[in-house]
């Protein structure tokens, strides 16, 4: 946009702009009336109030003012933007929805609770989570949410742990929810147990989790489209999720259930060592055709960060020398 102005010394001009999407010129006119006419002051106050509602629960003051600005303003604004708008979609990818909801625990924990309950209410009775969460009655799964990914339940344990740590709302585990394919009501605790059981069962004969057409790395759609490919990262992430769930539910869950989950955790350490450790780092996965990738022999993609960092989260390294770790 360009404007030609003829200003004399001391002259002032004020221009106001409204930016945003609109369906047609009628909606544009209505928006301008609401924001730039006599309602401008009211609209500005409403927006300021909206932004204020997204402030984080933490405020720091350090010698580094840029760091202060990042923690006190930029970070909560980004978390609030994603968590409040759901990335401007009515069918957010399940992983994204849960991750954004996890961040909201430190801005608006009621929103986090709603994310947990909404997600689990769309879970199948066998424990499988959908690839996307439908937020409105007319919404449908589109684009990437039609491609099977296998990591969604990992984030259930992490968002629930974040929420309870922040709120101490243990009663959420007793809330009753139906299932996507059943009107039976089960507690959040049982929904979570089913999610963990499903992940534990979605593994090959070696005990490695299937990747289907993607895990946390969406572009890995050609690793396991035939149903045989496995994920090195998900091996570690499953262990980390199980450890989180065991830790969180120890006082309220069935002891035999937790023993089974712990047995899987112990197995995954050995499995990761046997099939994924390549002397200096962990492989990223194994394709349908049995090709292990993310290994020293690869010319490209020799090492992936996530399978190294999550190894520490999952307490997987068994034999690393200090200089290697």
Check residue 290 and give left, alpha or beta (phi > 0: left; psi -120 to 50: alpha): left
Q: What does the alpha-carbon distance between residue 130 and residue 119 come to, in Å, rounded to a whole number?
A: 9
Cite the DSSP H helix spans in the chain: 25-35, 40-52, 65-69, 75-85, 94-104, 109-120, 152-167, 188-201, 232-249, 255-275, 306-313
Active site residue 218: yes
Among 218, 259, 266, 280, the one annotated catalytic:
218
Contact 128/198 with Cβ under 8 angstroms? Answer: yes
Which pairing describes strands 230-231 and 182-187: parallel, antiparallel, or unpaired?
unpaired
> Using alpha carbons only, what angle is made at residue 59 by residues 54 and 61, rounded to the nearest 5 degrees?
145
Contact 127/119 with Cβ under 8 angstroms? Answer: no
E strand or H helix at 321: none
Catalytic residues: 218
């Amino acid at each position: 946009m360009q404007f030609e102005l003829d200003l004399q010394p001391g002259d002032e001009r004020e221009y106001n702009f409204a930016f945003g999407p609109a369906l047609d010129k009628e909606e544009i006119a209505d928006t301008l009336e609401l924001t730039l006419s006599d309602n401008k002051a009211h609209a500005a106050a409403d927006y300021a109030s909206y932004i204020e509602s997204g402030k984080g629960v933490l405020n720091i003051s350090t010698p580094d003012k840029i760091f202060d600005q990042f923690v006190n303003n930029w970070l909560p604004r980004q978390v609030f933007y994603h968590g409040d708008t759901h990335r401007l979609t009515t069918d957010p990818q399940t992983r994204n929805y849960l991750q954004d909801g996890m961040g909201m625990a430190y801005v608006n924990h009621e929103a986090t609770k709603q994310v947990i309950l909404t997600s689990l209410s769309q879970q199948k009775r066998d424990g499988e989570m959908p690839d996307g969460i439908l937020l409105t009655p007319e919404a449908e799964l589109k684009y990437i949410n039609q491609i099977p990914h296998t990591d969604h339940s990992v984030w259930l344990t992490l968002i629930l742990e974040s929420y309870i740590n922040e709120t101490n709302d243990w009663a959420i585990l007793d809330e009753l929810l139906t299932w996507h394919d059943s009107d039976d009501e089960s507690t959040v605790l049982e929904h979570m147990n089913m999610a963990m059981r499903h992940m534990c069962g979605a593994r090959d004969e070696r005990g490695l989790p299937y990747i289907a057409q993607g895990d946390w790395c969406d572009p890995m759609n050609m690793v396991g489209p035939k149903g045989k490919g496995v994920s090195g990262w998900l091996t570690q992430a499953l262990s980390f999720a199980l450890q989180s769930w065991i830790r969180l539910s120890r006082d309220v869950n069935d002891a035999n259930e937790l023993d089974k989950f712990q047995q899987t955790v112990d197995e995954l350490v050995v499995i990761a060592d046997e099939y994924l450790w390549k002397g200096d780092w962990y492989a990223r996965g194994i394709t349908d055709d049995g090709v292990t990738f993310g290994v020293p022999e690869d010319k490209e993609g020799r090492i992936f960060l996530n399978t190294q960092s999550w190894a520490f989260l999952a307490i997987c390294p068994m034999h690393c020398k200090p200089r290697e770790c």
